[in-house]
Amino acid sequence: MLKNKKIGFIGSGAMAEALIDGILKANLVTPSQIIVNDISQNRLDHMTGKFGVLTTLSIKDTVKAADILFLTVKPQIINGVLDAIAPLLSPTTLVVSIAAGITIGILESKLVRIPIVRVMPNTPVAVGEGMSVLALGHYAGEENGELVLTIFSSVGRAIIMDENAMDAVTGLSGSGPGYVFVLIDALTDAGVRVGLSRQNSLVMAAQTLLGAAKMVLETGEHPAKLRDMVTSPGGTAIAGIHVLEQKGVRAALIDAVQAATKRSQEMGKKSHG
């Protein structure tokens, strides 16, 4: 699928690094098929040293070489990047943007009649367990979607949704690692409170969340059914769950996702204004 494709990256930050790592580990392409552009020579030297990919300070060279062009830059500078690449793009170049809050409408207003895929990944792509949601632009076909899905599946799980779901996606999976880190930190404190060392407590808390998440994904069972398997009559787990329900943990998590979704909507309106 990606055999003869050249993949370009404009911006070589953490997300670009994670994606390149995943793409190469999955043997989707060879290092010589990847070209990375950045304004920092230090970053480019790091990418060459780590992955053996091609690097350049020239946006023009990157755009001209790429069949698939990733925009892995901060939203604040995306407009300047779009202005720079617009006159250089071939109509067949597939553009993939991970700039948060930058809609397909904004991208298509600058990159006319170009196939565009907007992606909202989350930070665990850095360890190959990301959750990425793709939305296809008006000129991106099914084949384009499958191509980008394959790339993001190399660093976790990926699904295609309508763009109007992106604020909700940001509220749940985009911001979600933040909520989970709070849970891990709190469970670690709890372990210390009941006499465990902080180091052991942290490993137990993090691995417990990882294992529970894996059970949900791999068994396909409803979380409530899996919870019922842990809660024996009059046992320890149900005593703990009773307290969680009493303290409104479930409602607090729902409220957190709602608040993050609302904030994403507000930020989107600001970027349009």
CATH of residue 24's domain is 3.40.50.720
Residue ending a domain, choose from 100, 128, 163: 163
Residue 2 has a pLDDT of 87
Alpha helices in the chain (DSSP H): 14-25, 41-51, 59-65, 78-85, 104-110, 142-153, 166-169, 176-193, 198-219, 223-230, 236-246, 249-272
Same structural domain for residues 33 and 128? yes
Final residue of a domain: which of 117, 141, 163? 163
The confidence score (pLDDT) of residue 145 equals 97
Q: What are the binding residues for NADP(+)?
A: 10-15
> What residues of the chain score a pLDDT lower than 50?
none
Cβ atoms of 51 and 30 within 8 Å: the answer is no
Read off the pTM.
Answer: 0.91
Give the pLDDT confidence score for residue 24 in this predicted structure.
Answer: 94
pLDDT at 270: 72
Return the pLDDT at 154.
94
pLDDT digits (tens, 9 = 90+) for 83-126: 999 999 999 999 999 998 899 999 999 999 999 999 999 999 98
Looking at residue 266, what is its pLDDT?
87
CATH number at residue 212: 1.10.3730.10
Model pLDDT, residue 271: 65
Do 63 and 13 share a structural domain?
yes
Annotated binding residues, written as ranges, equal 10-15
The domain in which residue 95 lies consists of 7-163
